[in-house]
Structure 1
Amino acid sequence: MHQVVIEQVASYDRAAVREGIVRLLAPLGGMAAFVRPGERVLIKPNMLSAKPAEAAVTTHPEVLRAVIELVQETGATPLVGDSPGIGGMQRVAERSGMLAVVEETGAELVPFAESVPVAGKGTFRSFELARPYLEADRLINLAKLKTHEMMTMTCCVKNLFGSVVGGEKAAWHLKAGADKGLFARMLLEIYLLRQPELNIVDGIVAMEGNGPGSGEPRPTGLLFAGTNAVAVDVIAAEVAGIPRELLYLETAARELDLPGARRETISCCGVAPQLARSGPPFRLPHLSDVQFGLPAFLKDRLRNQLTSRPTAVPGKCTLCGVCVGACPPKAITVEGGKLSFDYQACIRCLCCRELCPRAALELKDGTLLKLIKTVKRAN
């Protein structure tokens, strides 16, 4: 059985978070069960973009602080690293409050700048992952619980996509991002190349709606932990009330028969999942696609009708160019003082929406998708 621990922490008060993390790890043997004196321990938070902590886009700095201090108390050296979706790591760390924690605790901020080729073990033959990610003695995955417009939910497994450096993320979106199932398999294959020794999820204030960058904060007062990232994701999704059929990572993990993918192999302690759930299920992202599972010839013909396409929100878009640079197939340009989209080239990965600093892009449904939604509402 794969053990997942759930603990309640009401706020980001420093002492409360510290006590909550200690309680969270106690059933797993405490931090000393994962870290040895003298080891270099990479703590990999969610550093998606340069947003303040209260936006719930990134791992909260007080959760990072507690983990750093517990690592230091074992006699190990904590490193903090990630490759943000947009912007340099230093800027994201500063804006999110994580840089101040790193400096105050004496931890080391490690940029993911250099990649190392790694042979794949499944569908994809090779990957290039950040050298510090691969070379650290131990890896602690410090994820944020959020909804996600492409994968429905981002938690432990998706957080490890940050091991892919900079522009290589766009290349993977271009290679696998047109098919959610394939993209999920790619994320799982990255996870299998370097499985974290410990996974901790910051869900004290999670995100719902159009996550991972433009949703709304959702207070849940919860922390999750476990040694198996897939199992932790399964339980986090259960607590969030997300329908299983929309969890592409979980579906792909079951297809691969990965440990932790099946609910009956997971045991929970601390707060029971049914008691941890408070309020209605998480509000999900905009349903943007119903074409997956169709034959290829139909996908090509009906793609624009069965998907949503990004458009600029009048009055919000300032032509900052972030979406232009972030688009993997280069389907967005600025023409005549406004954004122009090549919807034939667009792969609907929604990186533009994910990384837009002003939430200035919305989704417009194709005709058939709009009809399907109308029928669903009527039933």
Structure 2
Amino acid sequence: MERVSLLQCESYGTGLKSQLEKLLAPLGGLGSFFRPGDRVLLKPNLIGPRSVESAATTHPALILAMAELVKDCGGRVGVGDSPGIGSAESVIKRLGMEAALKRLGAAIVEFNTPVALAGFGRELPFERRYKNLFMARELDDFDQLINLAKLKSHGQMGVTLATKNLFGCVVGTNKGRWHFNAGKDLDGFARLLLEIALTARPGLHIVDGIIGMDGNGPSNGRPRQLNILAAGGNPLALDRVIVELLQKRPEQFPLFAAARALGLPGLELAEIAIAGAGPETLRVEDFQIPAFHRTHIFVNETFSRIASGLLKQRMLLDEKACVNCRKCEELCPARAISYAGRIRIDDSQCIQCCCCQEMCPVGALRVSEPFTVKLLRKLKIM
């Protein structure tokens, strides 16, 4: 039986450290995940140099509280990630926690050195498909990894929670390549995420949903007070419980379909022991996810092909908001974006990876929602 701990928490204020201790108590406490003297790497969501108020990153107060707790338990702490834009250090500076980490003796770790997943020497319960996928060698400098994810909507995968956050273990310049390789195959990209998660293998996952994000996530959505802290040892079980809190059906999300096809545990609520706050006290109303489409919900293959055209999403540019920084052009793995006095998007080349929307510094890009998708959502078919 998988275990997930839930806690209702309304603030990132001075009591956060004790709230985290309360969250982790049903799982054996933080000290049960590593030994004194171990090097412990905290892997937050540092998507880019965004403001604290944007809710795009794991909240700095939570990162610092976890760093203090690791130190209290005798661990030597580091904080690292591979942001989509900039460096871990630049994001940490933007979040205003560089001095506090220095006082704690916490190292800032840049994920710079790519190593093939197979090079980590960790067997998977299924055959690897992505043998040429590279993760950061810096992960191997630590004895334990703790995943500090952010609860957000996501343009491509619907939501980004514990499992998706570990895509940040891939060295920055390689992320775009794998988005391109996966193309429009969301199930293939979901399997890629699972191979990363099972290779990185954190001992503990915590999801920061005190203030989460919905709508045009994962960078430019709407910050929402959700009051959720969640933790567990299995990222899929943790994600499954959170999706239930969001009142979404698991079949809406490619990650769960890929995990089910591989026979991975943690997908059935009946097999998950939930401790702490009752799920009914943390349910979220009307959590908005971007207009990505899942044509495989239609069991008939022929109809699925027809539906693919009817449900086709597009990237839409708000030309008034666009500042012509051309970051989207630079980061597009499919080279579907060009600039000729203004940004142009070639729909025929777009692979719908949502990298441009995710990394736009001013939120000028969003995923369109065709009338057919709006209708199916209203009918609760999607």
TM-score (norm 2): 0.91
| Distance in 2 of aligned mates of 1:375 and 1:266 | 30
Aligned partners of 1:172 and 1:137: how far apart in 2?
Answer: 27
Q: 1:6 to 1:328 in 2, by over 3 A?
A: same
Structure 1 residues 274, 375: closer, same or farther in 2, change over 3 A?
closer
Q: Distance in 1 between matches of 2:232 and 2:326?
A: 39
d(CA) in 2 for partners of 1:212, 1:355: 9
- Amino acid paired to 2:209: G
Distance change (3 Å), C-alpha of 1:151 and 1:378: closer
Partner of residue 203, structure 2: 197
**Structure 1 residues 375 and 169, CA gap change in structure 2 (3 angstroms):** closer
8 Å Cα contact 1:52-1:97 kept in structure 2: no
Aligned partner letter, 1:6: L
Match of 1:328 in 2: 333
Kept after mapping to 2: 8 A contact 1:60/1:98: no
After alignment, is 42-51 or 112-121 more displaced?
112-121
Partner of 1:96: 95
Matched residue, 1:344: 348
Contact 2:116 2:131 in 1 (8 A): no
Give matches, 1:1-379, under 5 Å. Answer: 1-13=1-13, 15-119=14-118, 121-278=127-284, 280-285=285-290, 287-292=291-296, 306-335=311-340, 337-364=341-368, 369-371=370-372, 373-374=374-375, 377=378
SS at the partner of 1:158? helix
**Counterpart-to-counterpart distance in 2, 1:351 and 1:135:** 29
CA distance in 1, matches of 2:222, 2:141: 36
Q: TM (normalized to structure 1)?
A: 0.92
Residues 377 and 299 of structure 1, relative CA distance in 2, 3 Å threshold: closer
Are the aligned partners of 1:50 and 1:91 in contact in 2 as well (CA < 8 Å)? yes
Q: Give me the whole-angstrom Cα distance separating, in 2, the residues matched to 1:43 and 1:333.
A: 37
| Secondary structure of residue in 1 paired with 2:62 | helix
Equivalent position SS for 1:206 = strand
Aligned with 1:234: secondary structure?
helix
Contact 2:3-2:232 within 8 A present in 1 as well: yes
Following TM superposition, by how much is the alpha carbon of 1:112 offset from its aligned partner in structure 2, in angstroms?
0.5
Deviation digits for residues 112-156 of structure 1, max 9, x if unmatched? 011112228422223211011233100000111111111111110
Say whether the 8 Å CA contact 1:144–1:201 is kept in structure 2: yes
8 Å CA contact 1:40, 1:77 repeated in 2: yes
Residues 160-181 of structure 1 show CA distances to partners (whole Å, capped at 9, x for unaligned) of: 0000001100011001141111
1:347–1:301 distance in 2 versus 1, CA, 3 Å: farther
> What amino acid is the match of 1:314?
E
The 8 Å contact of residues 59 and 142 in structure 1, kept in 2 or not, is answered as yes
The percent of aligned pairs where both chains have the same amino acid is: 40
Query: How big is the shift at 1:205?
Result: 0.5
Question: C-alpha deviations, 1:220-240, integer Å up to 9, x for none?
Answer: 112111111111111111112
Q: Structure 1, unaligned stretches of length 5 or more? A: none
Structure 2 counterpart of 1:353, which letter? Q
Deviation at 1:306?
A: 3.5
In angstroms, what is the RMSD of aligned CA positions?
Answer: 2.3
The answer as to whether partners of 2:334 and 2:350 remain within 8 angstroms in 1 is yes
TM-superposed deviation, 1:330: 1.1
1:314-361: per-residue Cα shift (whole Å, max 9, x none)? 2111110110111111110101x1111222211011111111011111
Distance 1:248 1:176 in 2: 13
Flag structure 2 segments of 5+ consecutive residues without an equivalent: 119-123
